[in-house]
Amino acid sequence: MDEKITLTKVNIVGMKYVHCFWKNDGTPVEVEISKEEYDQLATPEHINPTMEGAVWAGSMGKNRVDTLSGDLEEGQYFEEIGGNIVAKLEDGKEHVSDDIQKILNKREEVKTSILDRKTQKITLQKVALSEQLSTK
């Protein structure tokens, strides 16, 4: 039982600032803002952001990557300065190194990751635990 998921490396190209909202139906929404708008939130005279039909959850700065949207897309990953790998998996969420392993592991399966330095792709290979143990 082998299943492979290939992740393509993207590069961090700067910072991106967003207001985060929850729509009334529970859907999260991010609205990109300028650094100045973000910094203004730290001043005493700031006004909390609003969006019709949504509740403001907070604002944040995050890594901008070299994709059309500036966001990490499904099947992509980047490496942070400290060595953590951040990947967006098929569940649509971003996961950091340790969390990636937890997400990919399912009961009796173990995943191994292989980085191809030439293509900068990571292959996450799912191997049945029984196969893994028999090779030791």
Task: Provide the whole-model pTM.
Answer: 0.65
Tell me the C-alpha distance between 112 and 116, whole Å. 13
DSSP 38-80: HHHTTSTT-----BTTEEEEEEEEEEEESSSSSSPPTTEEEE-
On whether the CB atoms of residues 6 and 104 are closer than 8 A, the answer is no
- Would you kindly state where each structural domain of the chain is located, as residue ranges? 2-134
* Owner of token pair 């399912």: 106
Identify which has the larger pLDDT, 122 or 126.
Answer: 122
In terms of Cβ atoms closer than 10 Å to its own Cβ (0-12, 13-18, 19+), residue 127 is: middle
- State yes or no: pLDDT of 10 exceeds 70: yes
Instruction: Please compute the mean of the pLDDT values over residues 107-124 and round it to a whole number.
Output: 49
Give the model confidence (pLDDT) of 54-102 as tens digits: 999 999 999 999 999 999 998 888 888 877 888 887 777 776 766 555 5
> In whole angstroms, what separates CA 43 from the centre of its chain?
29
Q: In this predicted structure, what is the pLDDT of residue 99?
A: 58
